[in-house]
């Protein structure tokens, strides 16, 4: 049923053109009978039938092309939404990996023993600019999507800066300790400023990861709901987030 409805404009255009052609043939046969109409009507009826057929054909051709163009545009826009949804899910997986790496409740241990060397891909991006067509329908959804992207990128930037800090400040302090690295020994071995900064970085990253996951999940649900409302003929990915 959906396929028939999808092709309805094409069927209507063909039927309309066929109807006009039939009328043109009937008019042609009718005006051949000069006993019914005068010769002057011959030219008038031929002009009307030919002109009507041309105008009707042009009109329905225009409608057909317009329908196809609209369908192609919607298909491309729906594809962009699906790509965006997939990338949001991939970003959520990254954030959850960060949170899993920092699951230790003892923040001092995370600050000095966790290098956060997981693969956090900064190239997973959302084509927010390509989703500008959705702004007309719900600018708030697009705005929240951009906000979730900013939180994700801020998290990756914090991880990058913290890893740089770890390499330059923490590892040199750890290298001065011989034998097993005891937490109490570490507290006495590293400068107070390094100790405080190391703990602060972990605290910041944990907070950012929590916010980013929440906003990404919300952006995913809102974007998918809006896409289904605007493009009901298309399917959009739905994953267990």
Q: How far is CA 122 from CA 10, 18, 97, 158, in A?
A: 46, 58, 14, 12
Residue 155, Cβ density class (10 Å: 0-12 exposed, 13-18 middle, ≥19 buried):
buried
Residues 84 and 223 sit within 8 Å (Cβ to Cβ): yes
Residue with tokens 């404009």: 9
Structure tokens given for 4: 């028939």
Structure tokens given for 113: 């023993």
**Whether the predicted pLDDT of 137 surpasses 50:** yes
In tens, the pLDDT along 55-91 reads 555 555 545 555 556 677 778 888 888 888 888 998 9
What pTM value is reported for the model? Answer: 0.67
In tens, the pLDDT along 159-193 reads 999 989 988 888 887 776 655 556 666 767 778 88
DSSP code of 168?
A: I
d(CA 149, CA 82): 16
Indicate the pLDDT class of residue 151, thresholds 50, 70 and 90.
very high
Q: Which residue did the predictor score with more confidence, 117 or 164? A: 164
d(CA 213, CA 199): 21
Q: At what angle do helices 39-101 and 192-230 cross, to 10 degrees?
A: 150
d(CA 164, CA 67): 55
d(CA 24, CA 6): 30
**Whether the predicted pLDDT of 107 surpasses 60:** yes
Phi-psi domain of 118 (left: phi exceeds 0; alpha: psi -120 through 50; beta: other): beta
């Amino acid at each position: 049923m959906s396929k028939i409805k999808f092709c309805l404009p094409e069927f209507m255009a063909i039927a309309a053109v066929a109807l006009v052609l039939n009328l043109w043939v009937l008019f042609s046969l009718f005006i051949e009978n000069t006993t019914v109409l005068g010769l002057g009507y011959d030219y008038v009826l031929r002009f009307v039938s030919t002109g009507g057929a041309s105008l009707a054909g042009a009109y329905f051709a225009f409608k057909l092309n317009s329908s196809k163009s609209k369908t192609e545009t919607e298909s491309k826009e729906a594809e962009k939404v699906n790509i965006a949804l997939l990338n949001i899910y991939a970003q959520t997986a990254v954030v959850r990996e960060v949170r899993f790496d920092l699951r230790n409740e003892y923040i001092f241990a995370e600050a000095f023993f966790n290098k956060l060397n997981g693969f956090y891909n900064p190239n997973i991006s959302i084509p927010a600019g390509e989703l500008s067509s959705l702004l007309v329908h719900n600018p708030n959804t697009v705005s929240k999507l951009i906000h979730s992207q900013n939180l994700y990128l801020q998290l990756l930037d914090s991880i990058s800066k913290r890893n740089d800090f770890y390499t330059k400040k923490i590892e040199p302090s750890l290298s001065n300790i011989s034998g097993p690295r005891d937490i109490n020994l570490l507290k006495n071995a590293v400068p107070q400023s390094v100790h405080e900064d190391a703990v602060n970085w972990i605290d910041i990253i944990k907070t950012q990861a929590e916010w980013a996951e929440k906003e990404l999940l919300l952006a995913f649900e809102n974007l998918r709901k809006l896409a289904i409302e605007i493009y009901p003929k298309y399917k959009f990915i739905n994953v267990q987030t």
